[in-house]
Each structure stands twice: as structure tokens, then as C-alpha cells.
Structure 1
Amino acid sequence: MSEPFEPRTDPDVDLSVPADRRELTARPATTLAAIAAGGALGALARAGLQHAVPHAPTGFGWATFTINTSGCLLIGVLMAVLAHLGGGHALARPFLGVGVLGGFTTFSTYAVDVQQAFVAGAPGTALAYLAATVLGALAAVGVGDAVTAGLLRRVNR
């Protein structure tokens, strides 16, 4: 039998764990406001960087690639820091993780960039961008988490 569905604020939150529920139970409107404010800041930062470094439809989307991989690196850092702090402030993960970094990173722009490269006749660029972004993002979040956790362990010795 499958588990009952429970909506989640953030993929690393397990609402069946009482400690993870604290970001929603106390003041859900405050949590949503924190996510919205962080999302606006993250989206503005992303839009500014994408505007500063445009690319042709047949070119590699360096701005979006850099945004997504650096955002994933920072999400890894944030998760390690919050784990080290025992979760940190109840609004830290919603504001910084879901909001700022969720608004900063962008799967939709990445998908459109890949599609436009295919349509513009640059399938090699599209496939390279497709693979590099997925692999780069996965590596970045792992490195961010591992390096930060290691540094925090070292500092606490």
C-alpha cells in the first residue's frame, strides 16, 4: 500500500517529521510571505544576470548555466549550514532555499534555451547544454554540501 500524499514546501522537508513541520505550522502566511519575498529577490538577480549576458539561440546559454550551477552550489551550502545549525531559523529554508535560490535558478529558461537551440539548427549545442547543466547542477549541490559540511566539522573540532 502506498503512503498517503502530503504536500511539501520544499523537497528536503518531510512533513511527517514534527521538527520539519515547524516552518508551516506556526504562521503559514509568514512562511509564504518569506518564500514570495525571497523568490522576488532571486528572480530579479537571475533576470539581471541573464540580461547582462545574452546569447544567440544557437549559442550555449552561459548565463543560465552559471545561474543554475551556482544556485545549486549555494543550495548545497545552505542545506549543510542548516543541518549544522539543527535547522536554523524557521524561515531560513523557506526564504533562502525555496525563495531566493528557487527564484534564482531556472529550469524553464534552461528548457527553452535547449529547445531554441534545436529549432535554430544547433543540436550539438543543445545536447551539450542539456547534459552539462544536469551534470553540473548535480555536482554543484553535492560539492556545496560536502565541502561546507567538512569545513563546519573542521571548525568545530
Structure 2
Amino acid sequence: MNYLLIFVGGGIGASLRHAVNELCVRLFGLGFPIGTFLINITGSLVMGLIAGYLAFKGAAAQPWRLFVMVGLLGGYTTFSSFSLDAVTLYERGAWGAALGYVVGSVALGIIGLVAGLAVVRHFS
């Protein structure tokens, strides 16, 4: 049942991400990826609201957490999970790990994308 909740939430989140991207392209054009920018910010804001609420007001039922935090927000943006992980490391006092996680994730993510493009271009 947990996987079904994540699956449904992820589908809704991904559909919402696509709708926001399409709307932003229609409104602002393709000059800047405003859709992805807004998705990352709003997803992180919602993740922060939920994580803060759960930390200060008590635990929510596991199915609800899986549906919203893993499924819906995971489908909407993984940046929200990335942001929560980075801040959690920082708040635990693991500043070096937090910095390494942020810089490493961004740098290696971009390097991975460039490498993938290079491989495809080489064999195309």
C-alpha cells in the first residue's frame, strides 16, 4: 500500500510540475527556466512547512507522509528533498558535510549531465 501511495502522489506531483512549466513558458517564454526555478522554490517551501510542522507539532501518519513528502513533492521536485537533507546536515552541526553535499550534488550532477550528453553525441 505504501508504494501505491507514493506512486499516486508522484504522478500528481509530476503532472503539477509539467503544468507549472507549461504555464511559465506561455507567460514568460523560454529565455530563462522560470518554471523549474519556481518549482524548486515552492517545493522547498512546502517541504519546509511540512517538516517544520511535523517537528514541532508531532508525527503524522506514515501513509500521509509517504504520499505528500515522498510521492507528491518527490514527483513535483526532488530539489525539496535535497534542500531538506542539506539543512538537516547543517542543523546537526555537520557543516562540512552539508557544504560537501550541496557543492558535490550540484557539481557532480552537472558533470554527470555533461558526460551523458558527450556519450550520446559521440555515438550519434
Taking structure 2 as the reference length, the TM-score comes to: 0.57
Code of the aligned partner of 2:68: L
Alpha carbons of structure 1 residues 106 and 84: separation in structure 2 relative to 1, 3 Å: closer
Aligned-pair CA distance for 1:106: 5.2
User: Which residues in structure 2 correspond to 1:89-100 (within 5 Å)?
Assistant: 89-100=61-72
Aligned-pair CA distance for 1:90: 1.4
Aligned-pair CA distance for 1:86: 2.4
Identify, as 1 or 2, the structure richer in helix. 2
CA contact (8 A) 1:35 1:94 kept: yes
User: Which residues in structure 2 correspond to 1:43-54 (within 5 Å)?
Assistant: 43-54=14-25
1:16-68 Cα deviation digits (max 9, x unpaired): xxxxxxxxxxxxxx111111111011111111111111242xx2111110011
- Alignment match, 1:31: 2
Taking structure 1 as the reference length, the TM-score comes to: 0.46
**Structure 2 unaligned runs (5+)?**
88-124
Three-state SS of the structure 2 residue aligned to 1:53 is helix
Corresponding pairs, count: 81
1:88-128 Cα deviation digits (max 9, x unpaired): 11112211011111111156xxxxxxxxxxxxxxxxxxxxx
CA contact (8 A) 1:42 1:101 kept: yes
For residues 38 and 10 of structure 2, what CA distance do their matches in structure 1 show? 18
Structure 1 runs, 4 residues or longer, greater than 6 Å off? none
For residues 36 and 82 of structure 1, what CA distance do their matches in structure 2 show? 22
Work out which of the two has the higher radius of gyration on C-alpha atoms and give 1 or 2: 1
- Alignment match, 1:105: 77
- Alignment match, 1:40: 11
For residues 81 and 37 of structure 1, what CA distance do their matches in structure 2 show? 23
- Alignment match, 1:73: 45
Seq. identity, %:
35
**Structure 1 unaligned runs (5+)?**
1-29, 108-136, 143-157
User: Which residues in structure 2 correspond to 1:49-64 (within 5 Å)?
Assistant: 49-54=20-25, 55-56=29-30, 59-64=31-36
